[in-house]
């Protein structure tokens, strides 16, 4: 346990140093790295929240004994939210539409209104407030462990959470990600980001489950639960690949100037390696690593697939957030990698801290076990 926490603390320290180096080399790129870090941490919390809500609505019980870990992921949401809000408030010039307004024509009228700074900030605060509130209320209700008496309330909260996420995740992706390339159009970016958020969150959840089992006596992840997590990773990696291909294929086929520029920049020169590596890490490798039943039921297979996906998320975030601010300096790129690695480590530490807020095994689960024995 001490070794794991020491390693995560060292990773978080690397992130802080990388952030400082990034600001010294190129302040604009440094703020882009901060946006990547905040978005990375926020996506894990959102994935944990969505995981809990969906299982509550569907009445699934397989995850009950490991439920505290996604609860802790959702409870750590303020960490990422604070970083995102700080970037949006302190570095508005990160978004080109702030310093380079849209032409005063009918074609750009809606985008000009939508991306006006007061409206943009109000929406961003609204997204974050809704997500933090949903996380606090749903996790609080689940941690009460009152059994059937509170089942209806938990169900209502879970349904409200899913609806809220559905209504806010797509416009948040438009605002925070697509508007970094403000002349680019893609109606699929919100759904693509949702797939990436949930896939990356599942990968982080898988690693946290393995780490928690090794760090905490009495906490056990069964072979069947490990198999279910691996199937989730396998399925959502393929779902992510489907959306990635659909977006790329439609833009390539239509060949509209406002849409193709984004991909032309990323598929030429040395960026092509990252562009295609993104597909390999997020789908190709996990597909092969988790194809067999034996691999999905083993710790090694699950960890290998999860690590591949998290590396893929790092590449995906770099391509979508940091690339517009690349200055050709190798140090800036390495600083970006260090910042995201630090964000992953900081989020894991925040999750483990949140785990201390409730017994690792829900009381209702222990009572059920005693009743059966």
Q: Note if the pTM is more than 0.85.
A: yes
Contact 84, 31 (CB under 8 A): no
Burial 147-171 (b: 16+ CB within 10 A, else e): eeeeeeebeebbebbbebbeebbbe
d(CA 155, CA 314): 34
The alpha carbon of 50 is separated from its chain's Cα centroid by a whole number of angstroms, namely: 11
Q: What is the pLDDT of residue 113?
A: 84
Q: What is the pLDDT of residue 42?
A: 96
Q: What is the pLDDT of residue 372?
A: 33
Give the DSSP H or E segment for 40.
Answer: helix 27-58
Q: How far is CA 338 from CA 205, 242, 271, 272, 331, in A?
A: 21, 29, 19, 21, 10
List Cβ<8 Å contacts ≥24 apart for 67-70: 67/142, 67/362, 68/355, 68/358, 68/359, 68/360, 68/361, 68/362, 69/205, 69/208, 69/209, 69/212, 69/351, 69/355, 70/205
Inter-helix orientation angle 2-25/330-355, to 10°: 140
| Cα 278-280-286 angle, rounded to 5 deg | 115
What tokens appear for 345 in the block? 């480590």
Per residue of the chain (373 residues), give pLDDT as tens: 566 788 889 999 999 999 998 888 888 889 999 999 999 999 999 999 999 999 999 999 899 999 999 999 999 999 999 999 999 999 999 998 888 877 777 667 788 888 899 999 999 999 999 999 999 999 999 887 655 557 888 999 999 999 999 999 999 999 999 999 877 888 899 999 999 999 999 999 999 999 999 888 888 999 999 999 999 999 999 999 999 999 999 999 989 888 898 999 889 888 899 999 999 999 999 999 999 999 999 999 999 999 999 999 999 999 999 888 876 555 667 888 899 999 999 999 999 999 887 778 776 544 444 433 3
Q: What is the pLDDT of residue 370?
A: 40
Tell me the H-state helices in 59-177: 68-75, 77-90, 96-99, 109-114, 117-144, 151-176
| Cα 279-283-285 angle, rounded to 5 deg | 100
């Amino acid at each position: 346990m001490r070794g794991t926490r020491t390693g995560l603390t060292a990773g978080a320290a690397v992130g802080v140093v990388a952030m400082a180096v990034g600001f010294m080399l190129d302040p604009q790129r440094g703020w882009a790295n901060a946006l990547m870090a905040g978005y990375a941490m926020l996506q894990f919390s959102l994935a944990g929240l969505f995981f809990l809500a969906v299982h509550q609505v569907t009445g699934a019980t397989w995850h009950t004994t490991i439920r505290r870990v996604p609860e802790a992921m959702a409870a750590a949401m303020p960490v990422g939210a604070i970083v995102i809000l700080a970037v949006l408030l302190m570095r508005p010039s990160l978004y080109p539409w702030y310093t380079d307004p849209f032409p005063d024509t009918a074609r750009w009228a809606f985008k000009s209104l939508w991306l006006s700074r007061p409206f943009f900030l109000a929406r961003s605060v609204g997204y974050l407030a809704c997500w933090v509130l949903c996380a606090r209320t749903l996790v609080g209700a689940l941690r009460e462990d009152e059994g059937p008496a509170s089942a209806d309330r938990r169900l209502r909260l879970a349904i409200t959470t899913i609806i809220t996420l559905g209504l806010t995740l797509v416009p948040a992706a438009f605002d925070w990600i697509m508007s970094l390339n403000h002349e680019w159009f893609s109606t699929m970016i919100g759904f693509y980001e949702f797939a990436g958020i949930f896939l990356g969150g599942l990968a982080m959840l898988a690693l946290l489950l393995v780490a928690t089992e090794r760090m905490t006596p009495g906490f056990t992840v069964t072979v069947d639960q490990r198999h279910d997590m691996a199937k989730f990773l396998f399925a959502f990696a393929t779902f992510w690949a489907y959306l990635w291909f659909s977006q790329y294929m439609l833009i390539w086929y239509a060949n509209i100037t406002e849409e193709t520029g984004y991909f032309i920049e990323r598929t030429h020169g040395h960026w092509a390696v990252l562009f295609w590596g993104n597909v390999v890490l997020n789908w190709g490798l996990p597909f092969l690593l988790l194809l067999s039943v034996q691999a999905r039921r083993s710790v090694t297979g699950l960890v290998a697939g999860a690590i591949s996906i998290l590396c893929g998320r790092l590449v995906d975030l770099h391509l979508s957030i940091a690339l517009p601010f690349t200055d050709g300096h190798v140090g800036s790129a390495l600083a970006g990698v260090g910042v995201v690695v630090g964000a992953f480590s900081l989020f894991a530490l925040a999750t483990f801290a949140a785990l201390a807020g409730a017994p690792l095994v829900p009381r209702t689960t222990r009572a059920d076990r005693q009743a059966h024995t």
